[in-house]
Every structure is written in structure tokens, then in C-alpha cells.
Amino acid sequence: MTRSATMALEQTSDEGIIEESVPVQDSREFVARHPATASSDAPASEPVGSLMSFMPSIADQFMLSAETATRKLSERVDGATSLTPDEIKAAKETFIGAMLEAAGQLMSQRQWLVDEIRSFDGLWQGKVLKKIQEIEAVVEAEDQRIRSMTDDDSVDLSSVMRAISTLNEKKAYLDGLRFQMQCSTD
């Protein structure tokens, strides 16, 4: 790029219209190629792995867009001995437009990733709630069993004490699950 073209580009500060952009992978295309991210029945590790592999491609796509915009600007102004102010302005507008488009796509894909990650939080909470319900049922059944054991004179007291100890461990586990859910909703 010639020095006068560089100085002229730096002096012009208008933002322009996007003329060309590099095609990028839309987040919906990603879901179509990686259906595990769209399925709530799939193990959580599959969608997380798919998202993790998608993250670097977002940065790569942005860099490709930026490099393409820079290359096109360079091709447009390199070798030109003298550019009119309108040509300089048009070149700058094209470059700025391409960079704004790339940034917009980057932010759109970033937001999609944030939304997907938040959906995992809901999936996790659903699994914890299900586990809480299961443990509550086990605790209730164990409590009933211990009551019947205490009513039966043929049951050894040590068996009742072991059952009570096991029940207390399950109740503590249940309290921990409930605490975890309370912390995640706050």
C-alpha cells in the first residue's frame, strides 16, 4: 500500500456499507451437522464436546473474514499510484463494512454459544431435580421399613441402628442435593 493511500485511509472516518463478506458457518448449520447439541436425550458430554469443537472455528471464521477483508483492501489500493478521495473512501467503507459484518457474525455465534451453554444448566437442574425425587422416594421407603422393623420384636436392635445410620446418610445426601439446587437458582 502506498504511503499516500495509507494516510488518506487514516484520514477518512466514515463507516460504509458492506459489499462483500466471507461466508461463515451459521450456528443453525452447526446444529444440523451436530444433532447431539439439539437433543436433550443425548448424554451431556456429547453436546459439550461438539460445542467445544465449534468454539475454535468461530475464531477461525472471524480471522478468515478479517484476512479476506484486509487482502481485498490491499489489492484495491496496492499498485495504485494515486487514488481519488472517493476511491479511498469506497475502499475504506468496503473494508470497514466487511469487518463490521465479521464482528456481527462473531457476536451472533458467541450469543448462540452462550444460549447453548445456558441450556446445559437447565438440563443439569432437571437431572438434579429427578435425582432429588428418586432419593426422596428411597428415603420414604427406608423410613417405612425402619418403622416396621421397630414394631417387630424379632428384629435385632443393631439391624435397626444400621438402617437408621444408612437412612441418615441418604437424608444428608438429599439435603446436599437440595442445597445445590438452591445455590444454582439464586
Which residues lie below 8 Å from residue 181, measured CB to CB, with a gap of 6+?
125, 128, 129, 132
Tell me the backbone φ, ψ of residue 153, rounded to 5 degrees: -70, -15
Indicate if the pLDDT at residue 182 is higher than 60. Answer: yes
Indicate if the pLDDT at residue 11 is higher than 50. Answer: no
For the chain, percent of residues with pLDDT exceeding 90:
24
DSSP state of 78: T
CA distance 125 to 123: 5
Query: Cα 108 from chain centroid?
Result: 12
Residues 78-132 pLDDT 10s: 767 778 888 888 888 999 999 999 999 989 888 888 888 777 777 778 888 889 9
CA distance 87 to 40: 53
Cβ count near 40 (within 10 Å): 11
CA distance 69 to 54: 23
Instruction: With beta carbons less than 8 A apart as the criterion, state whether 80 and 36 touch.
Output: no
- End-to-end alpha-carbon separation of the chain, Å? 56
CA distance 5 to 54: 38
* Amino acid at residue number 149: M
For the chain, percent of residues with pLDDT exceeding 70:
72
pLDDT of residue 46: 66
pTM attached to this predicted model: 0.46
Instruction: With beta carbons less than 8 A apart as the criterion, state whether 20 and 72 touch.
Output: yes
